[in-house]
Amino acid sequence: MNASNHIQTEFSSQLQHHTHQLMAFAFSLTKNDNDAEDLLQDTVFLALKNQEKFSAGTNFVAWVKTIMRNTFINNYRKQKRFKNILSKGVGGYFFSKKSSENTTESDINIQDIEHLIDDIDERFSVPFRLYHQGYSYEEITKKLKLPMGTVKSRIFFARKHLKEAYQQHFNERIEK
């Protein structure tokens, strides 16, 4: 067995050995068994993917818990942004009883939202989608090589367009 395989085996062994402790930490963050399992799975994946960044001789559990905490925070931010975009940025009608039912009478569904986003000029939809996916303004500015003010205004105008398009879509459905 070469040194690289030995390190990978030792790393995997450490993950397995601390799974119970990591699961308890995941549950303390999520307060839900299913979400804790998902968080643990995401964390193990990221830890394995980034194992070359682990410094031997440092606290392995603390390193993995940091990955888990950061993953939890990033996921929380994404969910918060998604809910904020849907509830405030587009119109506020998405969480009504009717829209949560899976019937043809629903006021709007996710496919409708995607179509509305697709109709926006790419200059606005791309930053909006990145923001929706959890990227920060700073990350979007770097990725798109645009000034911060431009990114913020494009996301603002995308929301404004979506709100108007949604209201028109909603009004058309009421008229039918």
Q: pLDDT higher for 44 or 175? A: 44
Give yes or no for residue 176 having a pLDDT over 60.
Answer: no
Domains of the chain, residue spans: 3-77, 90-175
**Residues 90-141: pLDDT tens digits?**
444 444 434 444 444 444 566 677 777 888 889 988 998 888 888 888 899 9
pLDDT attached to residue 77: 77
Q: Answer whether 3-77 and 90-175 agree in fold.
A: no
Q: What is the pTM of this model?
A: 0.47
Residue 11 banded pLDDT, cuts 50, 70, 90 = confident
pLDDT attached to residue 98: 42
pLDDT attached to residue 159: 85
pLDDT attached to residue 101: 45
- 76-99 as b/e, with b when 16 or more CB fall inside 10 Å? eeeeebeeebbeebbbebbeeeeb
Q: Collect all residues with Cβ–Cβ distance below 8 Å to 87 and sequence separation of at least 6.
A: 94, 95
Give yes or no for residue 70 having a pLDDT over 70.
Answer: yes
Of the chain, the percentage scoring pLDDT greater than 70 comes to 72
Q: pLDDT higher for 96 or 170? A: 170
The pair of three-digit structure tokens given for residue 7, joined into one six-digit string = 């390190």
Amino acid at 44: V
Residue 24 banded pLDDT, cuts 50, 70, 90 = very high
Residue 54 CA to residue 48 CA, distance in Å, equals 10
**Residues 28-41: pLDDT tens digits?**
999 988 889 999 99
Give the CATH fold of the 3-77 domain. Answer: Rna Polymerase Sigma Factor; Chain: A (1.10.1740)
Residue 157 CA to residue 121 CA, distance in Å, equals 10
Residue 22 banded pLDDT, cuts 50, 70, 90 = very high
Domain 90-175, second-level architecture: Orthogonal Bundle (1.10)
pLDDT attached to residue 105: 40
